A and B are shown apart, each in its own frame.
Chain A
Amino acid sequence: MDAFLLGASQVLSLSTLAMMLLGAIAGIIAAAIPGFTVTMAIVLTLPLTFTMDPLQGIAVMLSVYVGGYTGGLISAALLGIPGTPSSVATTFDAFPMSRNGEPGRALSLGVWASFFGTIISTAVLIVAAPPLAIFAVRLGPWEYFSLIVFALTIVASLVGHSLQRGLIAALIGLVIATIGTDPMMGRPRFDMGFELLAAGLPFLVVLIGIFAISQLASEVEDVNAIKTGERLVTSDIEFRTWSVMREVLMRPVNLIRSSLIGVGIGALPGAGGSIANLVAYDQARRSSKTPEKFGTGTPDGVVASEAGNSATAGGGLIPLIALGIPGSAVDAILMASLMVHGISVGPRLILDNADLVYGMFLAMAVSSLMMLAVCLVSMRLFLRVAEVPKWAVVPIVLVCCVVGSFALNNRVTDLYLLAAVGLLGYALKALDYPLAPLVLGVILGPIAETNLRRALMTDNDWTLFLTRPISLLLLVAAVLSVGWAIWTVLKSRKHATKLKDSS
């Protein structure tokens, strides 16, 4: 209880609340601009939080996160272009709804659904994280190594279209992580005689390069679209805030189901909002009495997609807080920001820094309230934001990335690295390799190696990985996730040939 009050007093201080408000606004704006993802917004917030207290910094980043999941809705509903990958399913129903003359209703529905989704996921997080952490403290290095193998295989099989490419991306991430000094004895590895590489690749620079630079580069691929600059429909928009809130609450089953799907998917490593919104939408359509209305502007579709993607925010924090394993790129950045402040993330986080963890729970709830307030008060202003043309966004954000990565270490050499990694990221993206497994590989690599070597230092017996029950269970789960991915590919291939035969 003391820890909770301590955390609450830090989150609820005036300066933190003001910064969080700015963060929520920044998140909404960032996600409303097509081509600017939530991940990018958080990456760019990170250097600004270095001077803050750990909890204040995390709270600000969480508010950007929560705001960002909502902001994607704006361009999804009005333009039919998802502002972030997490709002793809929102376009299915919110866009037809606003085309039918109800853009205000579509936006309010999405905002309320996001709000309730975040609140439900925070509740699940508070209930689920502490017991899981208490259990995780008893895990030995064997279990940890197996857990990371499991995390990487499930990421590889869930993200992208091909398991092979996902695994290759994850392994490239692990290879990047082996550059620099080794985590146990400090021996130099793969530095090729360059001073630049001797300390290893700074994780955050890799992250900015991989996610932000490659995304920006692929935004300018379409020469014609960028030159014209797309605009929003600006007709009169009417928000009926309270009646819409009632409308959302009248769908408790859909709301809770979609939120729980979001939490579950968010808690799986690697799968985040970009998958959750589609799954929640699909489930809502299947269990609906009027499935034929989906896709024509039914409120159920908007609620399912937005509640689903917002709920992943809380779900993703469960493995991060309980196990020290980030579930998504955004969680990896949150973890990195804690490490910058010298807080080690792992199952002991909740025991050693309880005030921080409770503060994070509270910050989630507070930022969803802020998001709601900001959206309801100033939705009209944000509509303008979505009109910012791409030709202005791309160069400006590139400069922000450069400044951000310089500010991390005050090293010009990091900038060369940034450009090189950005090019690598773009090449992989262009070849249809998923980038999330790569980034998780970079952050999980040292953890996996440390635990593998620690396990064998404790007892020189490889079979312990298979005879310790939890470790065995995790390895079996890893094999199953790969097998399941192969099975679905084979099934869809069979399906495709069948279609070809019948046509």
Chain B
Amino acid sequence: MPTSRFEVLGAGAFPMLVHGALILLLTGSIIGSLRKIPADAYGRFAADVVAWGKAKRLVFVVFAGLGLYVAVMPVIGYTSSTFLFLITLLVTLAPKTRTALVVALVLALVFSFGLNWLFAEVFNVFLPRGN
């Protein structure tokens, strides 16, 4: 990055300082953790990863859902995408009883159509409408 002739430090100096410090600390941290890992841990690595993934499966569901949700929102619009996102996630997370499912449906409707109406009418913010 070219430096300006009006100042000693250009636009590049501060990022270099920060990145440099970060690299130093991270290297130290990597070396520190490598020394702490017992030798047999490498063998168990694959099994541990699978077990961890299973234990946290809902987290992956949430992030996958969120990613898909924001990706399709510009295409199909706020109301439909939110409704689909909410109903999927609520039904996945909720206990499988009839009341819970009814509550999930009502919540999904209120927060997709209701919130869209609230923002458009009250705050004058128009959420994505889709193509």
Question: Which residues from chain A sit less than 8 Å from chain B, CB to CB?
Answer: 47-48, 51, 164-165, 167-168, 171-172, 174-175, 178, 182, 184-185, 187, 189-190, 213, 216-218, 220-221, 223, 226-229, 389-392, 394-396, 398-400, 402-403, 406-407, 410, 412, 415-416, 418-419, 422-423, 426, 445, 448-449, 452-453, 456-457, 460
Give the top 4 A-B pairs by smallest Cβ distance, nearest first. A391-B93, A182-B11, A415-B70, A395-B89
Least CB distance, A160 to chain B, in whole angstroms:
14
CA distance A399 to B111 in the complex (A): 8
Whether the Cβ atoms of A229 and B25 lie closer than 8 Å is no
Q: List 21 A-B residue pairs with CB atoms under 8 Å apart, sorted by A's residue number.
A: A47-B125, A51-B124, A168-B22, A171-B21, A171-B22, A182-B11, A189-B12, A216-B62, A220-B59, A227-B93, A227-B94, A228-B95, A392-B90, A395-B85, A396-B86, A399-B111, A407-B119, A416-B70, A422-B63, A449-B14, A453-B13
Do A391 and B95 have beta carbons less than 8 Å apart? yes
B residues less than 8 Å from A391 (CB atoms): 90, 93-95, 100
> Residues 78-122 of chain B: 1 if any A CB is under 8 Å from the residue's CB, otherwise 0?
100010011001100111000010011001000110010001000
Q: Complex: how many Å from CA A171 to CA B71?
A: 30
Cβ of B74 < 8 Å from any Cβ of A?
A: yes
Q: Which residues of the partner chain B approach A407 to less than 8 Å between Cβ atoms?
A: 119, 123, 125
Across-interface contacts of A48 in B (CB, < 8 A): 123
Determine whether B58 belongs to the interface, using a CB cutoff of 8 Å to chain A.
Answer: yes
Within 8 A of A (CB), among B19-62: 19, 21-22, 25-26, 28-29, 32, 55-59, 61-62
Q: Is the CB of A187 within 8 A of B11?
A: yes
Contact status of A217 and B127, CB under 8 A, knowing A396-B111, A403-B119, A449-B14: no
A395:B8 contact, CB within 8 angstroms = no
Which residue from A174, A213, A228, A419 sits with its C-beta under 8 Å from B18?
A174
- The docked-state distance in angstroms from the alpha carbon of A164 to that of B32 is 11
Q: Is the CB of A167 within 8 A of B25?
A: yes
A293 to chain B, nearest CB (A): 39
The chain A residue sitting closest to B94, CB to CB, is A391
Chain A positions within 8 Å of B112 at CB level: 399
Complex alpha-carbon distance, A360 and B98, angstroms: 48
User: Are A399 and B22 in touch, CB under 8 angstroms?
Assistant: no
B76 at interface by CB-CB < 8 Å: no
Known: A168-B26, A216-B62. A452 touches B85 (CB 8 A): no
Indicate if the CB atoms of B93 and A189 lie closer than 8 Å: no
Known: A184-B7, A449-B14, A456-B9. A398 touches B66 (CB 8 A): yes
| Contacting residue for A399 out of B62, B71, B82, CB 8 A | B82
On chain B, the residues within 8 Å of A189 by CB distance are: 1, 11-12, 15
* A448 vs B67: C-alpha distance when bound (angstroms): 34
B22 near A175: Cβ-Cβ < 8 Å:
yes
The CB with the most chain A CB atoms within 10 A, among B7, B93, B119, is that of B93
Q: A171-B25, A406-B125, A412-B73 provided; 13 other pairs, C-beta below 8 A?
A: A47-B123, A164-B28, A164-B29, A171-B21, A178-B14, A216-B62, A223-B55, A228-B95, A395-B89, A412-B128, A415-B73, A416-B70, A460-B8
Q: Given A221-B59, A399-B82, do A175 and B18 touch, yes or no (CB 8 Å)?
A: yes
Q: Kindly list chain A residues whose C-beta atoms are within 8 Å of the C-beta of B100.
A: 391
